[in-house]
Structure 1
Amino acid sequence: MDQQTYSNPNVRRLMNKSYIAIKVDQDSRPDISNRYEDYGWPATVVFNANRGEIVKRQGFLPPMQMASILQAVIDDPSPGPSVEPEKAVIYATTPFLAPSLLAEVTNEYEKQYDTAGKGWAFGHKYLDADSVEYAVLLASHGDKLQEQHVRDTLQAAQKLLDPVWGGEYQYSTGGNWDEPHFEKLLYIQAQGIRTYAQAYGQFHSPDYLAAAKNIHRYVRGFLTSPEGAFYVSQDADLIDGKHSTDYFRLNDARRRALGIPRVDKHLYARENGWMIRALCKLYAVSSDASTLQEAERSALWVVDHRSLPGGGFSHSDHDTAGPYLGDSLAVGQAFLALYEITGDREWLKRAEGARRFIAANFAAPSGAGFTTSKNATDAAYEPHPERDENAQLARFGNLLSYYTGDKGDRETATRAMRYLATHEVAIAWLSAPILLAETEYTRPPLHITIVGVRKDPSAKALFQIALSNGPAYERLEWWDPTEEPLLNDDIQYPTLPHAAAFLCTATACSSPMVDPQILELHIRKAGS
């Protein structure tokens, strides 16, 4: 639109005559991004002088169409058909999806797989992490169809991997995987690493680990700052407005001779949280110490540069609005992931601090869910809950409650689930976030505890087996008897002369296991 629409003389004349033009970087303003997420990017919104919306349009607007809209608003500035009154929603009073609603959402999930196109969703092709994760969960319980969907999708999605620099392109157009849009968002890289690493842990296909490492190689080389924090994205085009298909067909030397697409070097807490969590999963299945070091280095940078009083986190070094839910949520999830792979209780305490900050600052007045921003974007619009954020928060608070035993964690999950259990929210596209949150909220995680001194090689071996073979939804802890009891000491373990692993349910624990191979067999059996 910069190249074609906003450079058009007629468009410029109309805008200069009657409008104030504002461009918003949606990465920098999660509140505005979530407010208009249904309109994609670019989204075009026209307001009146009192901040009321007149027009909301999705995607590219060519010059003639844009000029027509601008003139029509000048002639009649009343809201058009694209602006509908906000519908009143009666939120669920229970955190549990009604059986009929759960059946409806499950049925919708089954319809959302494009068998011919090999991927969830139709039209644009991209790797939807939640849809794959839920299918992996179903596959672990013996669903062969969902396993085939996962395998077909992960194979096809490798067409979005850059064979030269590594990394994952944002999506493919044309309803197939062969027409990539070359932008590389950190969010997409984090989702790709975590999805392929999780699939490797489940299916042990070398291709999946190779794909995760491919994306990681790109993040190391292009999106990592000298301080160890992670940048936001790299542009799709070397020259703005000029499609780069020919450029991305070149080898490394020829690309660099022409130049490198711009990297957005903003450092946001939310994006770093996403990548830390992905690196934790990659470390869990690869045991690569440098990957863990990268995750910890980024986490410490976020603590040093984005911390807010009360345990939360800012988005950037200077937020125009905010604070935003997404930052404290993503960083809290990252801290919990770091605790799971290290057993370092400092990370668990920080995760609990982030959860408490969220509860204190983002609880929606309706009593259901949590809002994207603490503050209103403007006087005409109050902050609203966002579906994906609340699904992630329900899962975070629920899992955290098993680690801490703090009832406030469960209460946070419950409040988020009341929003998700609302019919209008639950049936929205796509279904996997709802199904994952519901599955975890209504069931305890697989509980594995390693008991042994941290320097003991036998204890380390057991812990690594549990890390690399455990499901995505698990409570994994390492208790060294020379240390204080676990934060949630709901189970008393026996004192043994050697390291051992225990696999527990809500009612009983296994006998102590000292052989890593036996532990692996029991984990796989328990997860099926």
Structure 2
Amino acid sequence: MNPKHENRLANETSPYLLQHAHNPVDWFPWGEEAFERAQNEDKPIFLSIGYSTCHWCHVMERESFEDEEVARLMNEVFVSIKVDREERPDVDHIYMTVTQAMTGSGGWPMTVMLTPDRKPFFAGTYFPKATLVNLVRQVRDRWQDQRAELIGESDRIAEGLRQYLERSAPGDLPNDIVATAADSLMESYEPQYGGFGSQPKFPTCLNLIFLLRAADRTGKKEHADAALRTLRAMRHGGIFDQVGFGLHRYSTDVRWRVPHFEKMLYDQALAVMAYVEAFEFTRDPFYRRTAEEILEYVERDLRDEPGGFQSAQDADSEGVEGKYYVWTEGEIEQLLTPDEAKRAKRAFQTSPNGNYADEASGRSTGTNILELSQISHDEYTKLQPVREKLLKARYKRVQPIKDDKVLTDWNGLMIAAASQAGASFDEPRWTQLAKGSADFVLAKAKTDQGLLHIYAKGRAKGEGQLTDYAFLIWGLASLYEATFDVAYLRQAKSLAEEMIQGFWDSKLAGFHMVREGTEHLLARPKETYDGAIPSGNSVAAYALALLARLTGDAKLEETARKTVRAFGADLAQRPTASLGMVTAHDLLAGGQEVVVVGEPNDPATKEMLAQLRTTYSPRKVVLLKTPSNSEVLAGLAAFTSDLSAQDGKPTAYVCRNFACELPTTSPFKARSLLERAAK
């Protein structure tokens, strides 16, 4: 930070923008002031998009944006705009699409040159200082000498971009789409170490959930085996924080050994969902333990005091990537008893000379990334006091910064994940974790005008986008199934109606990313690609299908079907690009509704629910009708109105596509009926 400089970013709440508030570059936030300045001064726009925990964003700032010479040149040539991609995923998506089209790849920091009316004519990612200086000079010369040609290029790019981003490709999906998608995904499966592709390897936990469900649907054991092997390999690898828990962003190598060290909330949420799904599929406690370890990290390190979840933790500390997480054997020996140190070095596979090499230079750092060896459950239990000593010592190091903004959509994912864990494990701790976030988001980010996207520095702001609605609906529906509090089901249904009203494409079907009238955008994208975060359309389709099954609302189900069909032609050709959408289609193809009628605190009711939850039936929903909620529940889910307890005992109604079996008061009979209905 240079205190003699202060630009307009000093008034922002985004940790990423505040990191650049004292650059000598005269940064503007995205908005009308910047665009008017560009028009009035007849300058092109330098658009830089990144996020607070991005390693190469930090590098480019140190090399270029803090440099007086570079800043002087940029201020002369451009109006410069900084965007936090997590605050404005719409802006990020539009210009990332441009970057990928123009360069064949993408990433952050993203660097895009625009005309004053926001049309792109150049795009790239990270540039070293010398390259950036040369690039700025070239743009200056073209803007002066070849303006007409450059504007013509930008017009063509903008028109093609608009057509691409707002398109639909309707079509019906083939009956075997689940099997076809799973087989297609398996073509890139890497069997030696698990995962897909070579390197870098991303967790892609949504894909692992899909493979387990595909195995259940098709009976192909190899699909489940691939998912389970990958989940085990990730837990044992360096991509998993063996001391503090939680998943790092991705592995730079094929063996899951060397991570890119940042930790993102959405990765934790999707990983919890995958490990919960694996536990339900196998009943193997390894997967439950891992899910709970990730939740422990989130609860300890990412939970905002009022209840929401913070966004991310940086890869860097003291300007060095990974420094916070790596260990020398000498440090381990100094902190532990001789026996403990021996156990730690063996369990975490350390080396006296270190196993971690600098990514850029390839030189050994002398430090170790900890990996977990294949040890027994008993050995793992004995390792815990050692791990806790290391964690306590690690907290005394300079910690990576945290991006403390609370994002509505990412919190929605974490609410869904913690709710699923709480219900599956019958663990109130995780249900309460989900409830705290849900109550916080509903109190702070839900207004009479709709959802807001961000809560930071004591205030909520930013118009809610499709992912805010879709992810939060998913979270609230999942929380209902964990708590059976009808208030969450009511909120989910109300938000679903708002989402359809505000984002639905009434001409071509599917959901736009932003509401109509959102300012300063070249297009209203309709995103379906499931990357590190599932797309808004994928989750909207899934959440509406889930909510339709919970409520029996045929309109919600029809909207979910129309969403899938709106992109059906593309899905049929490239199903692995949107496995979340295929998962939604799978749920729409048929599932089970179970209504338990009884007192919530009756041990017999609890036993009924416990038996129903021990069956792997990922397309089921469970509702609880009680004397105190029956009227409200009937208003939300009319099909429950005539269901009653038999002989004064807790009673289960097991239905398949709303056609119900005869009621039963036997928990074991209810489980048997569910297993039969799920086949």
Same fold flag (TM > 0.5): yes
**1:100–1:187 CA distance, 2 compared to 1 (3 A):** closer
Counterparts of 1:463-502 in structure 2, within 5 Å, are 463-480=609-626, 483-484=630-631, 486=634, 487-490=636-639, 492-493=642-643, 495-497=645-647, 498-502=649-653
* Mapped pair 1:389 → 2:536: yes
Counterparts of 1:25-174 in structure 2, within 5 Å, are 25-37=84-96, 39-58=106-125, 60-77=126-143, 78=150, 79=153, 85-86=160-161, 88=163, 91-93=168-170, 96-97=172-173, 105=181, 108-141=184-217, 142-158=219-235, 159=237, 160-174=239-253
Deviation at 1:172, TM superposition (A): 0.8
Distance across 1 between alignment mates of 2:305 and 2:658: 49
Distance across 2 between alignment mates of 1:401 and 1:100: 23
Contact persistence 1:55–1:83 (CA under 8 A): no
Deviation at 1:437, TM superposition (A): 2.1
SS of match in other structure, 1:455: coil
Q: 1:409 is matched by which residue type in structure 2?
A: L
Distance across 2 between alignment mates of 1:463 and 1:310: 38
Deviation at 1:264, TM superposition (A): 1.2
Contact persistence 1:235–1:261 (CA under 8 A): yes
Contact persistence 2:418–2:434 (CA under 8 A): yes
**1:65–1:364 CA distance, 2 compared to 1 (3 A):** farther
SS of match in other structure, 2:316: coil
Cα deviation per residue 1:33-87 (whole Å; 9 max; x = unaligned)? 33245532221111122221011214x3222332333233222242489958327
The corresponding residue for 1:235 is 314
**1:356–1:212 CA distance, 2 compared to 1 (3 A):** same
Cα deviation per residue 1:164-220 (whole Å; 9 max; x = unaligned)? 111111111133311111111111111111111121111111111111111111111
Contact persistence 2:119–2:157 (CA under 8 A): no
Q: 2:445 is matched by which residue type in structure 1?
A: R
Deviation at 1:327, TM superposition (A): 1.4
**1:304–1:434 CA distance, 2 compared to 1 (3 A):** closer
**1:13–1:326 CA distance, 2 compared to 1 (3 A):** same
How many residues are treated as equivalent by the alignment? 524
Q: 1:56 is matched by which residue type in structure 2?
A: A
The corresponding residue for 1:435 is 582
Cα deviation per residue 1:258-292 (whole Å; 9 max; x = unaligned)? 22111111122222211111110110122111221
Q: 2:465 is matched by which residue type in structure 1?
A: Y
* Mapped pair 1:265 → 2:404: yes
Distance across 2 between alignment mates of 1:101 and 1:116: 27
Contact persistence 2:265–2:310 (CA under 8 A): yes
Q: 1:40 is matched by which residue type in structure 2?
A: G
SS of match in other structure, 1:148: helix
* Mapped pair 1:211 → 2:290: yes
Cα deviation per residue 1:422-467 (whole Å; 9 max; x = unaligned)? 42896275342232122223x1322222122223210111113323
Contact persistence 1:140–1:527 (CA under 8 A): no
The corresponding residue for 1:372 is 513
Distance across 2 between alignment mates of 1:290 and 1:479: 23
Contact persistence 1:458–1:499 (CA under 8 A): yes
Please identify, of 475-484 and 288-297, the stretch whose mean Cα deviation from structure 2 is larger.
475-484
Contact persistence 1:193–1:279 (CA under 8 A): yes
The corresponding residue for 1:183 is 262
Distance across 2 between alignment mates of 1:311 and 1:20: 32
Deviation at 1:348, TM superposition (A): 1.0
* Mapped pair 1:444 → 2:590: yes
Q: 2:667 is matched by which residue type in structure 1?
A: P
Distance across 2 between alignment mates of 1:30 and 1:286: 34
Deviation at 1:399, TM superposition (A): 1.9
2:607 equivalent among 457, 461, 471: 461
* Mapped pair 1:516 → 2:595: no
Distance across 1 between alignment mates of 2:521 and 2:408: 28
Please identify, of 467-476 and 180-189, the stretch whose mean Cα deviation from structure 2 is larger.
467-476
**1:248–1:419 CA distance, 2 compared to 1 (3 A):** farther
Distance across 2 between alignment mates of 1:81 and 1:174: 41
The corresponding residue for 1:282 is 421
Contact persistence 2:450–2:464 (CA under 8 A): no
Deviation at 1:490, TM superposition (A): 3.1
SS of match in other structure, 1:371: coil
Cα deviation per residue 1:280-309 (whole Å; 9 max; x = unaligned)? 011012211122122112211112111122
* Mapped pair 1:299 → 2:438: yes
* Mapped pair 1:410 → 2:557: yes
Contact persistence 1:126–1:170 (CA under 8 A): yes
Which structure has more relative contact order (CA 8 Å, sep 6+)? It is 1
Deviation at 1:155, TM superposition (A): 0.8
Distance across 2 between alignment mates of 1:411 and 1:508: 18
Deviation at 1:393, TM superposition (A): 0.3
Contact persistence 2:181–2:576 (CA under 8 A): no
The corresponding residue for 2:469 is 328
Unpaired segments ≥5 residues, structure 2:
1-59, 98-105, 144-149, 332-389, 529-534
C-alpha RMSD of matched pairs (Å): 2.9
Identity %: 24
SS of match in other structure, 1:166: coil
Q: 2:205 is matched by which residue type in structure 1?
A: A
Cα deviation per residue 1:321-349 (whole Å; 9 max; x = unaligned)? 52312212222111111111222221111
Deviation at 1:88, TM superposition (A): 3.8
Deviation at 1:315, TM superposition (A): 3.3
**1:350–1:49 CA distance, 2 compared to 1 (3 A):** same
Distance across 1 between alignment mates of 2:639 and 2:587: 19
Distance across 2 between alignment mates of 1:102 and 1:111: 15
Contact persistence 1:184–1:233 (CA under 8 A): yes
Please identify, of 416-425 and 49-58, the stretch whose mean Cα deviation from structure 2 is larger.
416-425
Rg comparison, structure with higher value: 2
**1:173–1:401 CA distance, 2 compared to 1 (3 A):** same
Unpaired segments ≥5 residues, structure 1:
none
SS of match in other structure, 2:524: coil
SS of match in other structure, 1:478: strand
**1:46–1:205 CA distance, 2 compared to 1 (3 A):** same
Q: 2:637 is matched by which residue type in structure 1?
A: N
Contact persistence 1:306–1:315 (CA under 8 A): yes
Q: 1:232 is matched by which residue type in structure 2?
A: S
User: Normalised by the size of structure 1, how large is the TM-score?
Assistant: 0.90
Contact persistence 1:169–1:180 (CA under 8 A): yes
Deviation at 1:14, TM superposition (A): 3.2
Deviation at 1:477, TM superposition (A): 1.1
User: Normalised by the size of structure 2, how large is the TM-score?
Assistant: 0.71
